[in-house]
Amino acid sequence: MEQNIRVGAGAIVIKDGKTLLAKRKGSHASGSWGSFGGHVDFGEHPTETVKREAMEELGIEIGNFKFMTCMSFVKDGKQYLDVSFVAEHLSGEPTICEPDKIEEIGWYALDDLPTPLFEPVRIVLEAMKTGQTYFEGAGNE
């Protein structure tokens, strides 16, 4: 098992009662529906990571972040600390910019989401309802 802890950051964009989701491919949780995000680079703040990933993956600009969750979990032999936000879509038409990582994208009503959901996204959506912000063991092997 890897001995380093990886730090990830992600965001869910909510607009007019819908959230922007992408069907993942070519990585862990392939086939599940998630938002966007990635590993935090050294010297980068989590919101900077999410801004960068939103532009790289979907060609959109996001901002006005609201902290939602912090999760600690072990998955596929790796330990993660994941920080998630809700963000506002500022500009750009969502487009699949990384077809090796994303199969399909769309806006989905919060009460009619596709399945399966990527576990961290499911937890963030639940946190929006419950107000719980910290999770240990989410998605553990």
Backbone angles phi, psi at 8, to 5 degrees: -115, 155
Q: Residue 129 falls within a domain, yes or no?
A: yes
pLDDT at 81: 94
Which contiguous run of DSSP H or E holds residue 57?
A: helix 46-58
**Number of domains the chain contains:** 1
Which of 9, 12, 51 lies closest to 35, judged by CA?
Answer: 12
Domain that holds residue 91: 5-136
Do 127 and 100 touch, CB atoms closer than 8 A? no
Query: Whole-prediction pTM value?
Result: 0.89
pLDDT at 1: 55
CATH of the domain at 75: 3.90.79.10
| pLDDT one digit per residue (tens) for the chain, 141 residues | 558 899 999 999 989 989 999 999 987 789 999 998 999 999 999 999 999 999 999 999 999 999 999 999 887 788 899 999 999 999 999 999 999 999 999 999 999 999 999 988 999 999 998 999 999 876 665
Q: Residue 141 falls within a domain, yes or no?
A: no
